Structures are given as structure tokens and as C-alpha cells.
Chains A and B, each alone.
Chain A
Amino acid sequence: MIRGNSSVLSDRMAGHAMRRYFKRNCLKKKIAQEDNAMLKIIFGEVENSVYHPPTYFDNQYEDEWITDPLTVAMIRDIDKSEVVGPRLIESPVLGPIPVKEISGGVKTLILMAFDQSGRIFNASACGDNCAKWIAEIGRQKNLTINLHHVMDFSTVSAFEAVMLNTGAMVHSYGEYLEAAIQIKER
């Protein structure tokens, strides 16, 4: 379960879907943030990583992940679709679709949030419209992602991450970008 922190959320998050999710769930429940919550980024090939998370998701997802308010909010924001039930999504383009038809980006976000296997997921399967969700999940839990390209986190306010290739901590998108272009691994 992703945990929320009310003091951080109101000014950091962009997008109505995220605001709705955390207002309805985290703020009311007042769930504490994980103590060691931090987004960690590693570029290039890495052991224990899943290169194509959407395939892994199709074979490993749990029904209860789909109806969790966080997933509902992410599917609404990224896919513009509504979760009808654990096995049914309503898409404005495709009509009623099974869970396996949601976007690869959202599948990867759901794995980052709920998968307990210890695997590292390739965030290059996510578009830049997923960046704010990755940053938010990283604020709530200790999250390591693998990147094979420099993801654009410019839409994320108060961006913070640890660059595992160098050990450097970055405190803004600008610092992240400067650090990322110096790293050769992709």
C-alpha cells in the first residue's frame, strides 16, 4: 500500500487525479510515510531488473492492485479510463477493456507501487506523463527504478532522487539533468 503525507502533497503534486487520490485516501487516513522513502535511479543494465514491465505485469498482477485508489487515480490520469472492477476498465476510445489492455506506462507504475518481489522495473517503459507519479511513489516508499534514457522530470516540483550510478543526491530537475548527462550508462 502506498502511503501518503498530507503536508507534502498539496503543493507538490500536479494534476487533478493525483490531488483527488491523495485527498480522498491519504489525507483522511493519515497514513505515515515510510521512513526511508526515496526515489533511486540507476541508468543502464542492472541485475534483477525487468526490461519490459508490461509483460511482467500481465503475468503477475493481483486483482486488488487494480481497485486500489492509487491505481484508479493513475489509470484515470494517464489512460483517461475508469476502473469498473478488478477485471474491467472503461476506455473512452476502446470501450470496455480487460486489465491487460491498459497502457504499458500505467502497468509499470502499478508494479512500482505494489510489486513486492524486489525487482527493479524499467521506467523507460513509461512516458514523461508518468514522471510525476514515479516521483510521488518515490516520496512515499523506497523506490528504485531503472532507466535506459533520461526521463524528463521537469514537470515534478521539488524533485529529489539518488543517482545510484554515482551516488550523488540531486535536489532539483536541473541537478538531475546535469548529473544524468554525465553518466555514460544507458
Chain B
Amino acid sequence: MKGKYHIVVQNNRLRYEMDIRRNITIIRGDSATGKTKLIDLLEQAADLGEGSGVEVLCERPCRTLGGKDWNLVLPNIHQQILFLDEENKFVKSREFASAVKASDNYFVIVTREDLPNLPYSVEEIYGIHTSGKYHDLKRTYNELYHIYSGETFSGGVSPETVIVEDSNSGYEFFRAICSENGMDCLSAGGKFNLKITASGLGKEPAIVIADGAAIGPEMNELYQMMRHKPEVKCYLPESFEWLILKSGMIDGKLIQDILEHPEDFIESREYFSWERFFTALLAEHTRDSHLRYSKNQLNAAYLHEKIKQAILNAAEGVDWKKRMENRNHGGR
């Protein structure tokens, strides 16, 4: 499934409104915000239709998925938006992750668990908050908000240490930048080790750079780590490949169009998470050029001054210039 879908769920007293644009969306947050009520309303609407008194407005059918027979039901559902409540323990199983990967549906999962088998985006982790009464003053209006606010992430940090998620091209790029500017660059050896690596640092300003498109399962703990150790920040672009594409160094109107609304181009059954799509897109558009991209090993052309600067400029929120100026003035 592709695309962004606006959903309205309402009855006489409650109205929920949200946009869903990726295969996996997580809803969590404080108790008593109406998560279970949302699922209840959707279930009633799916079971009884208009006779339920619940109105569901969406281009795609919305329904709930749950219970012991979920794996028998799911293969028969296509191009729908499925909501799962937190009682469904199977959401953390590998079997469920495989089913999501093979599915052409979107999944909205209510859970506080991290679900490490599912590569969901930091951008698609929401809470529900009440934003007031609707027009008739009788109905309470609820909408989604991003749980992890951007200001805690990078906030113009000028790091002394950079922690990168893996040891592929992205790491090689940032290691080169760090080496030129007297910074330390560490590979966490996988996103699951980011928090432990960050936890072991001293008081120096540090930044964690990871693929935002799939960092969701780590966000609860990383976010708490950032608040507890304010000198640690995160920069979470969709992926390193997305950053290269955003830098403008790869020509093409199509690329800019895709970056503006990726959800209209990324088929969820083909790409489990968006960073895989951006990797494929970059590889395809550089295949026959001097910027030929390989995820496993960085093409040295990406370290040429002009290209390097364009990529760094695309990394909003990280103040690389300060470091470089310090270096040029002889400081560390």
C-alpha cells in the first residue's frame, strides 16, 4: 500500500483525527488518553457498520486485528488500515513481523513495548492528546502528536564525539569528517547498541547519528538517555542515503518530488521501512556515474569537498561549522 490517509473516527462524544502514511504507526503515551477507546470505536464500526453509531471517514477501510486467529485473518485482508490494541502480545513476535513485511496493509499498533522486530520510524510514534471541544462543544476532539520532540534531538549541537549506528558507508563518511575535525567517531555496531555506547561516554557533547526510518524500537530508551544525559543528542535523518539525496548532489526532479512526499512512492510490501527504499533509489540514480553508491563501502567521491559540504549542510541541526572553524583557528 502507498499513500497518506486521513482518518476521522467519531461518535456523539469523541472525535479522533489522524494522518497515517507508513506501513507501521505506533500509538503510546500516558494512561487515560483514549487509546483503547479509539480501538473500541473502530471495532464497533467494523462489526456493525453505520448501525454502530460510530462514523469512520477514510479512503481505505479501517478495522481492528487481534485475537488468537490473527494469522488466519490477516492474509485475507488487503489495502486496509489495521488497528491493534495492546492486549495482543503477538505484535512482538517474529511471526507478526514477517506477516507485516509481506502485507499490503498499514498497521497502527497501540503498545508501549519497543517491538524490535519491526523497523518503524521515529516520526511515526505518537501519543493522543485532547485539543479541546469540537464545534458543538459536546464532542471532545483528540489528535495525534509526536511523542519524541525534535528539540531534544540535535538542537545545534557541536559534538566532540559522534556515534554512528553501523559500520557501513554512513560510518565511513562521518569517520572521515570526524578525523578531519578532531572528533571521535564510534560505530555502535547496530542500533541496539546505541544507548549502551552513549551511556558509556563522559560529559563531552556527543551526537548519535542513526536511521530515523527504523530507529523507532530504540527511541524510548534513547530518549530517556538523552534527557538524563543532556550532553548526548541525536540526529535522525531517514537514513544516510536520504541525506545524500537531500543534499541536492544527485540531479533529478523525480528525486526532489519523492523527497517531498515519499509515502506516495514507497510500496509498503516492497520496502519494510523507508531507508531501504532510499538506498535503492540512490543506488539506481548513481549507477552509471562517478557517484556510484554502495552501502557497504563509501565511494571516495562522496568525500570530495563540494559533495561533502552539501551532505553536511543537509544535516540540519548539527553544527559542523563550529568544529571546522575551531580547527581552522587551531583549536580542537
When chains A and B are docked, how far (Å) is the Cα of A55 from the Cα of B86? 11
B196 touches A182 (CB 8 A): yes
B31 touches A177 (CB 8 A): no
A104 touches B36 (CB 8 A): yes
A residues in contact with B86, CB < 8 Å:
52, 104, 125
Q: Is A186 an interface position by the 8 A CB rule?
A: yes
Given contacts A127-B112, A152-B224, contact A178 B31 (CB under 8 A): no
When chains A and B are docked, how far (Å) is the Cα of A186 from the Cα of B34? 25
B32 (CB) vs chain A CBs: closest residue: A103
Chain B 8-21 near chain A by CB (<8 Å), digits 1 or 0: 00000110000000
When chains A and B are docked, how far (Å) is the Cα of A123 from the Cα of B167? 36
Given contacts A78-B31, A129-B31, A150-B220, contact A177 B13 (CB under 8 A): no
B32 touches A154 (CB 8 A): no
Q: Is B306 an interface position by the 8 A CB rule?
A: no
Q: Is A83 an interface position by the 8 A CB rule?
A: no
Q: Is A105 an interface position by the 8 A CB rule?
A: yes
Chain A 150-178 near chain B by CB (<8 Å), digits 1 or 0: 10101000000000000000000110011
B221 touches A181 (CB 8 A): yes
B152: shortest Cβ distance to chain A, in Å?
13
Q: Is A145 an interface position by the 8 A CB rule?
A: no
- Most chain A beta-carbon contacts within 10 A, residue among B30, B114, B199, B220: B30
A residues in contact with B114, CB < 8 Å:
149, 186
A161: shortest Cβ distance to chain B, in Å?
15
B30 touches A127 (CB 8 A): yes
Q: Is A126 an interface position by the 8 A CB rule?
A: yes
B199 touches A105 (CB 8 A): no
B139 (CB) vs chain A CBs: closest residue: A93
A174 touches B228 (CB 8 A): yes
B173: shortest Cβ distance to chain A, in Å?
27
A182: shortest Cβ distance to chain B, in Å?
7
B113 touches A154 (CB 8 A): no
B residues in contact with A154, CB < 8 Å:
224, 227-228
A103 touches B199 (CB 8 A): no
Chain A 86-120 near chain B by CB (<8 Å), digits 1 or 0: 00000001110000001111100000000000000
A148 touches B113 (CB 8 A): yes
Q: Is A39 an interface position by the 8 A CB rule?
A: no
When chains A and B are docked, how far (Å) is the Cα of A152 from the Cα of B121? 21
Q: Is A82 an interface position by the 8 A CB rule?
A: no
* CB contact between B228 and one of A51, A52, A126, A173 (< 8 Å): that residue: A173
A80 (CB) vs chain B CBs: closest residue: B32
Q: Is A68 an interface position by the 8 A CB rule?
A: no
A residues in contact with B87, CB < 8 Å:
51-52, 54-55
B residues in contact with A79, CB < 8 Å:
31-32
* CB contact between A106 and one of B13, B29, B31 (< 8 Å): that residue: B31
Chain B 96-126 near chain A by CB (<8 Å), digits 1 or 0: 0000000000000000111010000000000
A172: shortest Cβ distance to chain B, in Å?
10
B113 touches A94 (CB 8 A): no
A178 touches B199 (CB 8 A): yes
Q: Is A72 an interface position by the 8 A CB rule?
A: no
Q: Is A130 an interface position by the 8 A CB rule?
A: yes
B87 (CB) vs chain A CBs: closest residue: A52
B residues in contact with A174, CB < 8 Å:
228
B228 touches A149 (CB 8 A): no
B32 touches A177 (CB 8 A): no
The 5 residue pairs across chains A and B that have the minimum distance between CB atoms: A105-B31, A127-B30, A103-B32, A127-B31, A52-B87
A-B contact pairs, 16 of them (CB 8 A): A52-B87, A55-B87, A78-B32, A79-B32, A80-B32, A93-B14, A127-B29, A128-B30, A129-B32, A130-B31, A148-B92, A149-B113, A154-B228, A177-B228, A178-B199, A186-B116
Known: A52-B86, A93-B130, A124-B112. 16 other contacts (CB 8 A): A52-B89, A78-B32, A93-B140, A102-B32, A103-B31, A103-B32, A103-B36, A104-B36, A105-B30, A124-B113, A125-B112, A127-B29, A177-B224, A177-B225, A180-B221, A181-B195
